[in-house]
Amino acid sequence: MADYIWLIPFFPLAGFLFNSAFGGRLSKSAVSWVACLAIFCSFIAAALVFAEFLRLPGAGRVFEMDLYPWITSGQFQVAIGFRLDALSVIMCLVVTGVGFLIHVYSVGYMHDDPGFKRFFLYLNLFVFMMLLLVTGNNLLVMFVGWEGVGLCSYLLIGFWYEKDSASDAGKKAFIVNRVGDFGFLIGIFLLFVSLGMKGVWTLNFAQIGQHAQLLDGPLVTIITLLFFVGAVGKSAQIPLYVWLPDAMEGPTPVSSLIHAATMVTAGVYMIARLNFLYRMAPDTLLVVATIGVLTAFFAASIGFAQNDIKKILAYSTISQLGFMFIAMGVGAYAAGIFHLMTHAFFKGLLFLGAGSVMHAMSGELDMRNMGGLREKTPVTYWTFLIACLAIAGIPGFSGFFSKDEILWKAFSASQGYLLIWGLAALTAGMTAFYMFRLLFGTFHGTCRASDEVKHHIHESPRVMTVPLVILAALSLVGGYVGVPHVLGGSNAIEQFLAPVFGQGAPAPAQPQTAFGFVSTAWASGGAAGHESSLEMLLMALSVAIALVGIFLAYLFYVKNPALPGRFTASFAGLHRWVENKYFVDELYERVFVRGVQRLGAFLLKVADGWIIEGAINGTADALQRLAGRLRRVETGYVQEYAFAIIVGAIVVVAYLVVIPMF
Amino acid sequence: MNEPFPYLSALILLPLAGSLVLMLLPRRQTLTIKAAALVLTIGEFILSLPLFFWFDERAVQMQFVEQREWFPEFGISYLVGIDGISMLLVLLTTLLTIVCVLCSWKAIETKIKEYYVSFLVLETAMIGALCSLDMVLFYIFWELMLIPMYLLIGVWGGPRRIYAAIKFFLFTMVGSVLMLLAIMVLYFHYAAETGVYTFNVFTLARASLPAVKQYWLFAAFALSFAIKVPMFPFHTWLPDAHTEAPTAGSVILAGVLLKMGVYGFLRFAIPLFPAAVVAATPLISWLAIIGIVYGAIMCIMQTDLKRLIAYSSVSHLGYVMLGIFAFNMQGLQGGLYQMLNHGISTGGLFLVVGMIYERRHTRMIADFGGLTTVMPRLAVFFMIITLSSIALPGTNGFVGEFLILLGAFRSNVTYGVLATTGVILGAVYMLWMFQRVMFGKITQEANRLLADLTKRETLILATIVLFVFLMGLYPGLFLRKMDASSAGYLKYVKARIAAMGAPAVQGPLGAP
Amino acid sequence: MLPELSTTVCFILSGVLFTIGAVGAILRRNVIVVFMCIELMLNAVNLVFIAAANTLASMDGSVFVFFIMTVAAVEAAVGLAIFVMVFRQRNTIDPYEIDLLKG
Amino acid sequence: MDALGLKDLAFIALAAAVIVTSLMMVTRKNPIHSALWMIAAFVVMAVIYLLLNAQFIAVAQVMVYAGAIMMLILFVIMLVHMERGDESAPAAARRSKTVRIAGAVITAILLAELLFGALLFQVTGKSGGLSTAAVNSAGNVKTVGALLYGEYLFPFEIASILLLVGIVGAVVISKRK
Amino acid sequence: MLVKIPELAFGPILPELIITVSAMTALLLGAFGRRAIVGTIAGAVALVGSGLALLFTLSLWNAGAAVYNGLYTIDTFGTFFKALALIVAILVTLLSLRYVEREDIVKGEYYALTLFGVLGMMIMVSSTHFVTIFIGLEVMSIAIYVLCGMLSGNPRSAEASLKYFLLGAFATAFLLYGIALVYAATGLLDIREIADYIVSGRFQLTPLFMIGIAMLVVGFGFKTAAVPFHMWTPDVYEGAPTSITAFMATGIKAAAFGAFLRVFYTAFLPLLGAWSGMLWLIAVATMTIGNITALVQDDVKRMLAYSSIAHAGYILIAFVVGDLFSSVGILFYILVYTFMNIGAFTVVIILGQKGRQRTGIEHYAGLAGRHPLIAIAMTVFLLSLAGMPPLAGFMGKFYVLSAAIKAKYYWLAVIGVLNSVVAAYYYLRVVMYMYFREAAADAEPAGRPDFSPAYGVVIAVSVWALFHMGIFPRGFLLIAQRSVEIFM
Residue A199 CB neighbour total at 10 angstroms: 9
Strand partners, A366: A308
Contact A498, A508 (CB under 8 A): no
Of C23, C78, C93, the CB nearest to D80: C93
Say if B329 falls within a structural domain: yes
Q: Helix and strand tally (H, E) in chain C? A: 3, 0
> What's the pLDDT tens digit per position in A14-62?
989 988 888 778 888 888 888 898 889 989 988 888 888 888 877 778 8
Q: Residue E120: which of E19, E223, E222 has the closest Cα?
A: E19
Provide the residue type at E257 as one letter.
F
Q: Cβ separation of A639 and C96 shorter than 8 Å?
A: yes
**Contact status of E7 with chain D (Cβ, < 8 Å):** no
Interface residue E467 vs chain B (CB under 8 A):
no
Chains that touch C (3 or more CB pairs under 8 A): A, D, E
Mean of pLDDT values over D56-69: 87
Q: Which of B373, B375, B389, B370 is nearest to B465 (CA)?
A: B389
Q: Does residue A308 sit in helix, strand or coil?
A: strand
Among A21-25, D73-77, E69-73, E117-121, name the most confident range. E117-121
Helix or strand run (H / E) with residue A72: strand A63-73
User: Which residues, 6+ apart, have CB-to-CB distance to A218 below 8 Å?
Assistant: none
Separation CA B100–CA B38 (nearest Å): 9
Residues B131 and B82 sit within 8 Å (Cβ to Cβ): yes
pLDDT at E168: 95
What tens digit of pLDDT does each residue of E451-486 get? 788 899 999 999 999 999 998 888 899 999 999 888
pLDDT at residue number A517: 42
Measured in angstroms, the CA of D138 and the nearest CA of chain A are apart by 40
What domain range includes position B432?
A: 273-512
Report residue D177's pLDDT band, with 50, 70 and 90 as the boundaries: low
In Å, how far from its chain's centre is CA A482? 24
pLDDT at B28: 84
Least CB–CB distance from E417: residue in B111, B178, B185 = B178
Nearest to A148 among B393, B423, B431 (CB): B393
Close Cβ partners of A325 (under 8 Å, ≥ 6 residues apart): A231, A235, A237, A267, A268, A271, A288, A289, A291, A292, A293, A295, A336
B126 Cβ contact partners less than 8 Å away, ≥ 6 residues apart: B93, B141, B145, B252, B256, B257, B260
Q: What is the ipTM of this complex?
A: 0.91
For residue B335, tell me if it sits in a domain.
yes
Split at pLDDT 50, 70, 90, the class of E174 is very high
Cβ–Cβ under 8 Å, residues E160 and E232? no
Cα separation of A549 and A427, whole Å?
10
Residues of E in Cβ contact (< 8 Å) with D177: 152-153
Task: Categorize the per-residue pLDDT at B496 as very low, low, confident or very high, splitting at 50, 70 and 90.
Answer: confident
Q: How far is C38 from chain A (nearest CA, A)?
A: 11
Q: Say whether A639 and C95 touch across the interface (CB within 8 A).
A: yes
Average pLDDT over chain A reads 83
Mean pLDDT for the stretch of residues A508-525:
42
The whole-angstrom distance between B441's CA and the closest CA on chain A is 5
Highest mean pLDDT: which of A229-238, B353-362, B436-445, C41-50?
Answer: C41-50
Q: How far apart are CA A205 and CA A274, in angstroms?
A: 8
Confidence band, pLDDT 50/70/90 cuts, at residue E34? low
CA distance E257 to A583: 81
Beta-carbon separation of A75 and B511 below 8 A: yes
Altogether, the residues listed in chain E come to a count of 488
Q: List, for residues A456-501, the tens digit of each pLDDT value.
A: 778 888 888 888 888 888 888 888 887 777 777 777 788 788 778 7
Three-state helix/strand/coil letters over chain E = CCCCCCCCCCCCCHHHHHHHHHHHHHHHHHHHCCCHHHHHHHHHHHHHHHHHHHHHHHHCCCCCEEECCCCEEECHHHHHHHHHHHHHHHHHHHHHHHHHHHHCCCHHHHHHHHHHHHHHHHHHHCCCEHHHHHHHHHHHHHHHHHHHCCCCCCHHHHHHHHHHHHHHHHHHHHHHHHHHHHHHHHCCCEHHHHHHHHHCCCCCCCHHHHHHHHHHHHHHHHHHCCCCCCCHHHHHHHHCCHHHHHHHHHHHHHHHHHHHHHHHHHHCHHHHHHHHHHHHHHHHHHHHHHHHHHCCCCEHHHHHHHHHHHHHHHHHHHHHHCCHHHHHHHHHHHHHHHHHHHHHHHHHHHHCECCECCCEHHHHCCHHHHCHHHHHHHHHHHHHHHCCCCCHHHHHHHHHHHHHHHCCCHHHHHHHHHHHHHHHHHHHHHHHHHHHCCCCCCCCCCCCCCCCHHHHHHHHHHHHHHHHHHHCCHHHHHHHHHHHHHHC
Averaged pLDDT, A521-540: 60
Distance (Å, whole) CA A156 – CA E87: 77
Which residue type is seen at D127? S
> How crowded is the C-beta side of D79, counted as CA atoms within 13 Å?
18
Q: How far apart are CA C94 and CA D90, in angstroms?
A: 11
Side chain identity at A564, as an amino acid letter? P
Question: What phi and psi, each to the nearest 5 degrees, are found at residue A138?
Answer: -145, 170
In terms of domains, do A549 and A623 share one?
no
Contacts of A64 (CB under 8 A, 6+ apart): A2, A81, A82, A83, A84, A137, A206
- Quick one: DSSP state of residue A478? G
CA of C13: which chain D residue's CA is closest? D15
Q: Residues in chain C with pLDDT < 50?
A: none
Q: What is the DSSP letter of D127?
A: P
> Residues in chain B, how many?
512
Whole-number average pLDDT of chain E: 89
Does the structure show a pLDDT above 80 at A568? no
A426 and A567 together in one domain = yes
Higher pLDDT, B134 or A559: B134
In chain E, the residue whose alpha carbon lies closest to the alpha carbon of A649 is E218
The DSSP secondary-structure symbol of A66 reads E
DSSP letter (8 states) at residue D125 = S
Structural domain contains residue B119: no
Q: Is the pLDDT of residue B472 over 60?
A: yes
Residue-range domain boundaries for chain C: 7-90
Could you say which of B372, B405, B425 has the minimum Cβ distance to residue A185?
B405
Q: Cβ contacts (< 8 Å) between B114 and chain E: which residues?
A: 368, 372
Question: Of the ranges A538-547, B126-135, E125-134, which one carries the lowest mean pLDDT score?
Answer: A538-547
Residue type, A65: M
A600 and A497 in a common domain: no
Q: Could you tell me which chain D residue has the CA closest to the CA of E137?
A: D162
Q: Are residues A652 and A609 in the same domain?
A: no
For residue A18, is it within any domain?
Answer: no
Q: Is chain B touching chain D, with at least 3 CB–CB pairs below 8 Å?
A: no
- D115: nearest CB among C12, C43, C58: C12
pLDDT of residue B512: 35
- pLDDT, position B510: 39
The whole-number average pLDDT for the span A648-657 is: 89
The residue that leads in pLDDT, B152 or E448, is: B152
The yes-or-no verdict on residue D53 having pLDDT over 60 is yes
Q: What gap in Å lies between CA A83 and CA C57, rounded to an integer?
A: 111
Picking from C19, C20, C23, C26 by the largest number of A CB atoms within 10 A of its own CB, the best residue to mutate is C26
> Percent of chain A at pLDDT above 70?
95
3-class DSSP assignment, residue A233: helix
Mean pLDDT of E325-353: 92
Residues in contact with D60: Cβ distance below 8 Å, sequence separation at least 6, in sequence order: C66, C69
Q: Given this model, what pLDDT does residue B509 score? A: 39
The answer to whether the CB of E371 falls within 8 A of the CB of E455 is no
- Band (pLDDT 50/70/90 cuts) for residue A632 is confident
- Are E412 and E280 within 8 A, CB to CB? yes
Q: First vs last Cα of chain B: how many Å apart?
A: 40
Q: Write out pLDDT tens, residues B136-191.
A: 999 999 999 988 999 899 888 888 888 888 889 988 888 899 999 999 999 999 99
pLDDT at residue B263 in the model:
92
Is a pLDDT exceeding 90 seen at residue E307? yes
Q: Is D26 on the interface with A (CB under 8 A)?
A: no
CB atoms within 10 A of CB D91: 16
The domain total for chain E is: 1
Query: Residue B80: helix, strand or coil by DSSP?
Result: strand
Q: Is the pLDDT of residue A503 over 60?
A: no
Q: Is a pLDDT exceeding 80 seen at residue E178? A: yes
Task: Out of D120, D164, D169, name the one closest to residue E145 (CB).
Answer: D169
Residues 6+ apart with CB under 8 A from E396: E314, E329, E332, E333, E335, E336, E337, E387
- Distance between B171 CA and the closest CA of chain E, angstroms: 9
- The DSSP symbol for C96 reads T
Mean pLDDT of chain B, nearest integer? 88
Burial class (CB in 10 A: 0-12, 13-18, 19+), A458: exposed
Q: How far is CA E74 from CA A598, E8, E82, in A?
A: 77, 14, 10
Which chain A residue lies closest to D108 (C-alpha atoms)? A650
Q: Which CATH architecture has domain C7-90?
A: Orthogonal Bundle (1.10)
What's the pLDDT score for residue E161? 93
Residue B132 near residue B221 (C-beta atoms within 8 A): no
The reply to whether A584 and A532 lie within a common domain is no
- Give the residue, A2 or B466, on which the prediction is more confident: B466
Angle between helices B305-324 and B413-438 (to 10 degrees): 160
pLDDT at A284: 87
Identity at E334, one-letter amino acid code:
I
Residue A86: left if φ>0, alpha if ψ -120 to 50, beta else—which one? alpha
Q: Does residue A259 belong to any structural domain of this protein?
A: no
Asked if E311 contacts E227 with a C-beta cutoff of 8 angstroms, the reply is: no
Helix%, strand%, coil% for chain C, nearest 5:
80, 0, 20
Write out the residue range of the structural domain in which residue E452 sits: 3-487
In angstroms, the CA E363 to CA E301 distance is: 12
Distance from C-alpha of A285 to C-alpha of A301, rounded to nearest angstrom: 24
Give the model's pLDDT for residue A26: 83
| Beta strands A63-73 and A76-84, pairing class | antiparallel
Contact between B238 and B302 (Cβ < 8 Å): no
Confidence of residue A9 (pLDDT cuts 50, 70, 90): confident
- Residues in D touching A640 (Cβ below 8 Å): 99
N- to C-terminal Cα separation, chain D: 64
- Indicate the pTM of the whole model: 0.90
Report residue E72: phi and psi, to 5°.
Answer: -140, 145
Smallest Cβ distance to D116: which of E109, E136, E207?
Answer: E207
Distance, in Å, from the CA atom of A169 to the CA atom of B435, rounded to the nearest integer, reads 11
Chain E residues touching residue D118 (CB < 8 angstroms): 208
Q: Looking at the complex, does the CB of residue D106 fall below 8 Å from at least one CB of chain A?
A: yes
Please count the structural domains in chain B. 1
